[in-house]
Amino acid sequence: MMHTVKLTVNGKEYERQVEPRLLLSDFIRHELGLTGTHVGCEHGVCGACTILFDGQAVRSCLLLAVQAHGHELGTVEGLADSAGHLHPLQMAFWEAHGLQCGFCTPGILMTLIPFMAENPAPNEMEIREALSGNLCRCTGYQHIVDAVRLATATESLTR
C-alpha cells in the first residue's frame, strides 16, 4: 500500500506517494532529486547520509520515508545561500582543505550544523567526539578538525 508523505525540505514543501519500505535516504535522492545526501553503508555506521530531522542530525538510511511525514528536513543543499555564496562552514572546509573526494562531506556538514549551534566554541576533543559517527577515508580527519576550528573561530569573530 502506498502512503502519502508531506514534508518540508530546506524550507520547501513536497508531497509524494511512497512504499513503506522506501528509506528516507533514497526518498531524498530519488524522489526529490536532492543528491547531495550521500549513501554509504546503509546500516548507520558511515554517516554519509546524515541530514537534519527537525533540526537534529540523524542517519537518513535508518529512517523510513513514511516516518518523515509532517516533519522538517534539512540537507546539504540548504546550506549555501546561492551557488556563489557558500555557508561559513563550507567556506572553512574549503579554506582548511577539509575534503578530498567529498563523499563524506555532506554528512559531516549536516552533523556539524547542530553541533556548532549547541557548542559555539568547541575544543578539539569535543569536535572529534562530534565527528565520531562520520567516516572519512581521505583526509585522516586532521584537516576536518582544522576546518571546524576555523569555522567556529570565524563565527565567533563575526558575532
- List, in sequence order, the alpha helices (H) in 52-141: 88-95, 105-118, 124-130
- For residue 58, the minimal CB distance to another protein (Å) is 5
Is 43 one of the binding residues for another protein (CB under 8 A)? Answer: yes
> With contact defined as beta carbons under 8 Å apart, do 106 and 57 qualify?
no
Here's the x/- map for another protein, 56-95, by CB under 8 A: it reads as xxxx-xxxx-xx----------------------------
Phi-psi region of 158 (alpha: psi -120 to 50; beta: other; left: phi over 0): alpha
Contact region with another protein (CB under 8 A), list: 6-14, 50-58, 90-98, 145-153:
50-58
Is 27 one of the binding residues for another protein (CB under 8 A)? Answer: no
Packed helices 88-95 and 105-118: angle between N→C axes, nearest 10 degrees:
120
Contact region with another protein (CB under 8 A), list: 6-14, 48-56, 72-80, 88-96:
48-56
CA distances from 95 to 66, 71, 90, 116, 159 (A): 39, 34, 9, 18, 20
| Binding residues vs another protein (CB under 8 A) | 1, 3, 19-21, 23, 26, 42-44, 47, 50, 53, 56-59, 61-64, 66-67, 111, 115, 128-130, 132-133
